[in-house]
Every structure is written in structure tokens, then in C-alpha cells.
Homo-oligomer: A and B are copies of this chain.
């Protein structure tokens, strides 16, 4: 049983046993929603960032661990269309590292949370007998009924993505190859590309503009890979999707890495993950004009890469030569042996 089946089972258990009071939205989206007084809801999300699973201290320093752990959680608020309110961080760290590392780690957390107007307001600091584990919980506010869910996409909607997903995955692949000393002919990357992996930008400003322009009918942030995360929208909305390969905004670097590793050129774009870009669905035509404004204001390009179909569970890509191909829907699954080496 994989991670997502397990989560589905836990969700069933929670709905059966535990939910004695109504909450606006429970397990299964980027955030849950709790009713608040007035016309607000509180969006909450928690994410564990685990050494040896999500990162290695070979290529992350402690400050960057803090930055990325915070950014990944803030990204969940963006994906719900919520405005940040505050963050909590539970840090479990080896005793011998605590003295030297904790200030760097806390600095990364506090500065990143502060930058996105989501002050670090609480936490827990414990020893760890093993890996460093940083669990960041974020709280945000959203007007009642205006959170952007995964389950409300409509057939015919356009599929858009922010930025250039795949860069983070390609950088990670190079770092992992180097770690195994398989350095031959791997492309070099600059600090901007490295930043795509180490310090992703939670797309809160972009989400704010998208809410005004659309709003999107559904939205998710890309953590497990575009195909896997799109599939969450498809499953929760009971729809299918058709992607157009010629529309994919593939950077040169990720294509070079894919070529060296013998992978399709859009491998990292579709399956890389960790970019924390926004993937959204929106009725046809709505974003055509506004996408330019979003880019002008935020510097982030938005690309239309496909559309939703009524064919439940179908995820198809049209290749540049016109062929249609079913797409693998799986991304990073913590309990799948395929990815266990990652």
C-alpha cells in the first residue's frame, strides 16, 4: 500500500470515528479549513521536512533547511488562496548539532515566514536520536467559501502552471549523481537554478492575483510532481485531463539533464516535484489577458498547458508529433519502493 492509499484510509477512519463536529474541510486538500467567527475561515497545513527523505545536509545547510521547510508550508496557503496569519515550527535536532545549528535553522524559518507576512509565533524544540526533522505548521485566513479546493475543477477548464516546473527536480538529480560520484558530462548549474531546489518561492503573490483574475476553479502546489499533483485534482474533481507537450515551458537545463540520464526531455517537468509552483484550472479565456499582468507584477510567467476533460481518471499528453500518450500519474511516494532511493 502506498502513501496516498494510506492517507485515503486514514481519512476514512477520521471521518468515521473522529469528526464529531463539522469542520469546513478536513483531510485531503492542501490545507484544512476551520470555521471562525464572522465571514472568515482558518486554513491550516502541516508538513514534515525530514533529513534523508526530503533533504540531505550534503547540499542543504541549516539555514536553507529552515528556508525550504517554511516555503513548502507557505506554499500550501498559496494553493488554497489563503492569506498567511502565523507559523509554528517543531524542530527535532541531534543534541550535538543543537548548539551550532539551531540559530541558522531558526534564522531560515523566521526570515522566510517573516518575508511572507506569516510570523513564526510558536513551536517546539526537542532532541532527535537520528535525523533532523522540521515540521512547519502554517495558519492562514480566507473568506468563508472562497478557499480554492482540489475538488471543484470543471470539465473544459484550462490547466495553467506558474513558472518552470522541473528545474528543482533536475538540480536534485545532478546533486544525487554527484553524491554517487557519477559526475561525467552532467551539466553545470548556477545559483539561480540551485535556488529553485533550496529556496523555492511560495507563490502567495501570484495566488492573490489569480484569485482576483479568476478565481481558479481548483488549485494545488506542485510538490510531488506535476502529473501526480494534477492527478489529485482529477481524482477529487472526478475528471480527466489532456496536456499539450508543445506548451510545456521546458528550460534548457532540465532538458540537458534528462538527455544525459536517458530520460524524456519533459521528465522533470512532469515528474520532478519540489518546485512549489502553482497548478490551477480555470474556465477558458479567463486568464488569457491577466496572465501578462501577473507576470508583470510578480515576474512569474503563467503557462497554459492543457485542459480538463470529462473522462474520469484519464491523464493524456499529446506529444509534439500529434500522438496521444497516457501519462504516469505517480510522483514521489514515501512508501513506494520505486522511489525509496531518493
Contact = CB atoms under 8 A, between A and B. Distances in A.
Nearest to A45: B122
A184 interface: no
Interface stretch (A33-41, A210-218, A321-329): A33-41
Count of this chain's copies in the oligomeric assembly: 2
A260 interface: no
A: contact size bracket: 35 or more
A135 interface: yes
A13 B127 contact: no
Interface in A258-283: none
A229 B188 CA distance: 53
A338 interface: no
Interface stretch (A82-90, A151-159, A230-238): A82-90
B44 A335 contact: no
Given A54-B126, A119-B21, A110 B14 contact: yes
Contact of A48 (B3, B36, B86, B126): B126
Interface of A: 1, 3, 6-7, 9-10, 13-14, 17-21, 23, 25-27, 31-32, 34, 36-40, 42, 44-48, 50-54, 85-86, 88-92, 95, 98-99, 102-103, 106-107, 110-111, 113-114, 117, 119-131, 133, 135, 137, 139, 141, 334-335, 340
